[in-house]
Homo-oligomer: A and B are copies of this chain.
Amino acid sequence: MGQLSELFAPETVAVVGATDREGAVGRAILENLLGDFTGEVIPINPKRETVLGQECYPDIGSAPPVDLAIVVVPPSIVIDVVENIADADVENVVVITAGFSETGGEGATRERDLREIAAEYELNLVGPNSLGIMNTALEMNATFGPENALNGSISFMSQSGAFITAVLDWANEQEIGFNEIVSLGNKTVLDETDFVDEWGTDEETDVIIGYLEGIDDGSAFLQTAREVTEETPIVLVKSGRTEAGAKAASSHTGAIAGSEAAYETGLEQAGVLRARSVGELFDYARALSGLPLPESDGVAVVTNAGGPGVLTTDAVGDSSLSLASFTDETIEKLQDVLPEEANVYNPIDVIGDADVERFETALEIALEDPNIGAAVVVAAPTAVLEYDGLAEAVIERTDAYETPVVTSFMGGGRVESADVVLREAGIPNYFDPARAVSGLDALARYRDIRERTVEEPMTFDVDKERAQAILEGAKKRDDNRLGVEAMDLFDAYGIPTPQGAVVDDPQAAYEIATEIEGDVVMKIVSPDIMHKSDIGGVAVGVPDDEVASTYEDLVSRGRNYQPDASILGVQVQEMLDLDESTETIVGMNRDPQFGPLLLFGLGGIFVEILEDTSLRVAPIGENEAQAMVDEIQAAPLLRGARGREPADVDAVVEVIQRISQLVTDFPAILELDINPLVAGPDGVTAIDLALTLDSDQL
């Protein structure tokens, strides 16, 4: 596969299937390309001599050399046409034609063929079922949509072509400009990860935005996006957030919907800012493409009206930012220049008779305060305030202080021309102060993403061969569910377990019990019996001399309960003193898109009823494992709230990392739960294990 930059910067573009038939897609694309494109455009169609006055070639082999081919032929001949294109040494192909996997059956077969050809010839292939691509720097509109984009620094990908059409019509009116645009279509070859990768190194792209209904390879996306977001912000609408939405997305694209929890976690780990609506997408993009990042979280509000000032302060309170406290020096300076009735504390109220000069002076004093990372200028209409002048003043101060300033000029008609001036300078201006502040919030959140450290996962010294053997043992037993009989897996990965063993005769049980100090706990071991306590399959506080008879008793209860149950034996285990301990759960579920999704929470009601859990896509480093423990609401319980002795949180954090390593080492582990992992002041102990295996992957 060549560089994607060539896809967007061709000198010559062929439209295969070009036609001058009114209403045809092959005509619309040709017209769009002939409109403004700075390069050559070549129509290809065996049935025409010329199309729209351009010389037409029967096939790509007979045409002059081409850098990019746009395919708009009927679905039945797409495969042949793409093969011809590849034979003519053209690497970049956009397949507009629909009728592939989205229609099922024959279309799906056709899409497999297309993927194979693309792989064979290493094609950069967009689509099929795509609206096309654009590059505003070359004024190249290789889509069949009705709108050209304005030039700007936002690069935009969308899994929905209609979404691009809708956005462009609106964005042109809002004067929001784009750099490159791609309609991803069925993503048979090139997908979101490829374009994120490409735009991450593109000088002309300040912000990457996208509308996605699914991410095919979540784990590749996470890796790429994590690197890209160190330099370039990514804002995505990933739709199908809600259950109803996920069902609709799945029926729309034919793809299997991944779990929303995995997307939420994976995108967060990738450093992606997730927008919940198209409005939020562009509010974020506008701020990120036009403004510097705030150096600190302190915001100054400068307003000529108390009420709107309070509204704006609330919006700051809702955001990740905070209202700054001014230094004494700032307050004195403000007192010197503002009328007595003005409020010199944040929010600064320059009061209703303020003109542009007073506003500007107050803003300048605020921006000089070392506690200020950003500012919001909120202006209600008055007889003396001239909005155009205020816009100019804000632009000058923003440039001079390299500090992000957003505005809420709260008016309609009388704000219009100032709004245009601000927009051209890249300053987001909204009637609603909350939207202005939400742009600042995006800046601060992106700054945090840039500054964060993603630690490499630790590699613990584990016994991988032994773990492999335990898993293969289960495979031999022809069972994909493992329980306490596989507790050695924890030993192999350095996770503490209670003293004890699973044995399959009463004498062995007795021998184990004598090795253990004090009474023991005994449990029947069977993958077929889920609720062991309910059938009397658990005995607590068994003295050594009753161990053998208890063994018989437990096994016969099991047989009575379920005669066909596979009974693997009985677990004999030391009794733990749980009074000073807290039950936790460490789990993993393998997500189809993102892979191993780790879960942490406190046991019992905390996970089951309060759903107080934290998630991460594995593998994770120590700081992320630590964050998993810290971010549950009940975390203070582990830290010794209400007079309890604090649990050994470091040991919990280590177990999470060791499980991260285990599930990364063994893709065959589909699900895994340590429930409970008992955390006490002197360390942790894994008491129970439930594991589901995909033995084909062993």
A binding-site residues for B, Cβ under 8 Å? 23, 28, 103, 146-147, 158-163, 165-167, 169-174, 211, 213, 237, 239-245, 247-249, 251-253, 276-279, 304-311, 313-318, 322-323, 341, 343, 345, 347, 349, 352, 380-383, 410-415, 431-435, 604-605, 608-610, 612, 633-634, 636-637, 641-642
Contacts and interface: CB of A to CB of B under 8 A. Distances in A.
B380 A313 contact: no
B146 A383 contact: yes
B314 A240 contact: yes
Interface centre among A245, A252, A307 (most CB of B within 10 A): A307
A311 B277 contact: yes
Contact of A412 (B172, B252, B313): B172
Contact of A169 (B147, B318, B413): B413
A182 B671 CA distance: 62
Given A311-B237, A318-B242, A608 B642 contact: yes
Nearest to A317: B242
A220 to B, nearest CB: 23
A240 B305 contact: no
B245 A313 contact: yes
A165 B248 CA distance: 43
Given A170-B411, A609-B633, 17 more contacts: A28-B383, A163-B308, A163-B380, A167-B410, A169-B413, A169-B415, A172-B412, A172-B413, A239-B311, A240-B310, A240-B314, A249-B310, A252-B310, A604-B642, A605-B637, A608-B641, A610-B610
Contacts of A173: 412-413
A610 B311 CA distance: 29
A381 B609 contact: no
A263 to B, nearest CB: 12
14 contacts: A146-B383, A160-B305, A173-B413, A240-B314, A241-B314, A244-B317, A248-B310, A248-B347, A252-B307, A278-B311, A279-B435, A605-B636, A605-B642, A609-B642
A432 B169 contact: no
Contacts of A383: 23, 28, 146
Contacts of A313: 239, 242, 244-245, 247-248
Nearest to A162: B305
Contacts of A276: 314, 318, 434
Nearest to A98: B341
A310 B637 CA distance: 41
A609 B640 CA distance: 12
A654 to B, nearest CB: 24
Contacts of A307: 158-163, 211, 213, 239, 252
A654 B150 CA distance: 66
Contacts of A413: 169, 172-173
Nearest to A28: B383
Contacts of A241: 314, 317-318
Contacts of A242: 313-314, 316-318
A637 B313 CA distance: 39
B163 A317 contact: no
A166 B308 contact: yes
What is the total number of copies of this protein in its complex? 2
A608 B604 CA distance: 19
Contact of A309 (B248, B323, B634): B248
Query: Closest 4 CB pairs between A and B?
Result: A160-B307, A242-B317, A162-B305, A173-B412
Contacts of A411: 166, 169-170
Contacts of A410: 166-167, 169-170, 278
Contacts of A433: 277-278
B170 A412 contact: yes
A204 B677 CA distance: 65
Contacts of A309: 248, 252
A241 B248 CA distance: 36
A246 to B, nearest CB: 9
A610 B641 CA distance: 12
A278 B158 contact: no
Contacts of A305: 160, 162-163, 166
Contacts of A605: 634, 636-637, 641-642
Contacts of A251: 343, 345
Interface centre among A162, A316, A317, A380 (most CB of B within 10 A): A162
A638 to B, nearest CB: 11
Contacts of A147: 381
A148 to B, nearest CB: 13
A169 to B, nearest CB: 4
A30 to B, nearest CB: 15
A380 B308 contact: no
Contacts of A381: 146-147, 165-166, 169
A637 B633 CA distance: 18
Contacts of A279: 431-432, 434-435
B306 A160 contact: yes
Nearest to A413: B173
A379 to B, nearest CB: 9
Contact of A322 (B244, B310, B636): B244
A609 B641 CA distance: 8
Contacts of A23: 383
A328 B147 CA distance: 39
A167 B414 CA distance: 12
A414 B171 CA distance: 12
B277 A432 contact: yes
A349 B278 contact: no
Contact of A609 (B158, B171, B634): B634
A282 to B, nearest CB: 9
A319 to B, nearest CB: 9
Given A276-B318, A314-B240, A412 B169 contact: yes
Contacts of A432: 277-279
A641 B607 CA distance: 13
Given A162-B380, A252-B306, A305-B163, A431 B170 contact: yes
Contact of A278 (B248, B304, B431): B431
Contacts of A634: 605, 609-610
A257 B304 CA distance: 22
A323 to B, nearest CB: 4
A607 to B, nearest CB: 11
Contact of A310 (B213, B314, B343, B641): B213
